Amino acid sequence: METIKKILEEAESFILATHVNPDADGLASVLAMHLVLKARGRRTLPLIEDTGPDFLDFLHGFGDLVTLEDFSKGSFPVEESVALVFDLSEEARLGEVAPVVKAARERIILDHHAKTGEPLPGVRMVDPRAPATAFLVYRLLRDLGWAIPAETAENLYAGLYSDTGGFRFENTREETFLVAAELVRLGARPAVVGERLMENHPPARFELLRRVLERREILSGGRGVLSYLTLKDFEETGSRPAEADDLATFLRSMRGVEISAMVKELRPGEIGVSLRSRGRINVAELAALEGGGGHPRAAGFRKRGLPVEEVVSLVRKRILASLEARYGG
Residues that bind Mn ion (CB under 5 A): 25, 87, 133, 163
Query: Which CB, 133 or 152, lies closer to Mn ion?
Result: 133
Q: To the nearest whole angstrom, how small is the minimum distance from the Cβ of residue 309 to Mn ion? A: 31
Q: Are 16 and 81 in contact (CB under 8 A)?
A: no
Query: Which CB, 104 or 132, lies closer to Mn ion?
Result: 132
Contacts of 149 (CB under 8 A, 6+ apart): 35, 36, 39, 186, 187
Q: To the nearest whole angstrom, how small is the minimum distance from the Cβ of residue 29 to Mn ion? A: 8
Query: Which CB, 86 or 234, lies closer to Mn ion?
Result: 86
Q: To the nearest whole angstrom, how small is the minimum distance from the Cβ of residue 122 to Mn ion? A: 18
- For 259-269, b where at least 16 C-beta lie within 10 A, e where not — what string? bbbbbbbbeee
Q: To the nearest whole angstrom, how small is the minimum distance from the Cβ of residue 78 to Mn ion? A: 25
Strand partners for 264: 229, 272
Q: Are 116 and 98 in contact (CB under 8 A)?
A: no
Q: Are 111 and 93 in contact (CB under 8 A)?
A: no
Q: To the nearest whole angstrom, how small is the minimum distance from the Cβ of residue 142 to Mn ion? A: 19
Query: Which CB, 87 or 265, lies closer to Mn ion?
Result: 87
Residue, CB closest to Mn ion: 25
Please state, in angstroms and rounded to a whole number, the distance separating the CA atoms of residues 303 and 43.
37
Q: CA-CA-CA-CA torsion for 37, 42, 46, 47, nearest 10 degrees?
A: -150
Query: Which CB, 93 or 318, lies closer to Mn ion?
Result: 93
Please tell me the number of Cα atoms within 13 Å of 80 on its side-chain side: 10
Q: To the nearest whole angstrom, how small is the minimum distance from the Cβ of residue 130 to Mn ion? A: 9
Query: Which CB, 89 or 133, lies closer to Mn ion?
Result: 133
Q: To the nearest whole angstrom, how small is the minimum distance from the Cβ of residue 167 to Mn ion? A: 14
Query: Which CB, 87 or 258, lies closer to Mn ion?
Result: 87
Q: What is the largest CA-CA distance in the chain?
A: 62
- The dihedrals phi and psi of 46, each to the nearest 5 degrees, come to -80, 95
Q: To the nearest whole angstrom, how small is the minimum distance from the Cβ of residue 132 to Mn ion? A: 5
Query: Which CB, 171 or 220, lies closer to Mn ion?
Result: 171
Please state, in angstroms and rounded to a whole number, the distance separating the CA atoms of residues 208 and 276.
19
Q: Are 310 and 317 in contact (CB under 8 A)?
A: no
Query: Which CB, 230 or 249, lies closer to Mn ion?
Result: 249
Q: To the nearest whole angstrom, how small is the minimum distance from the Cβ of residue 171 to Mn ion? A: 10
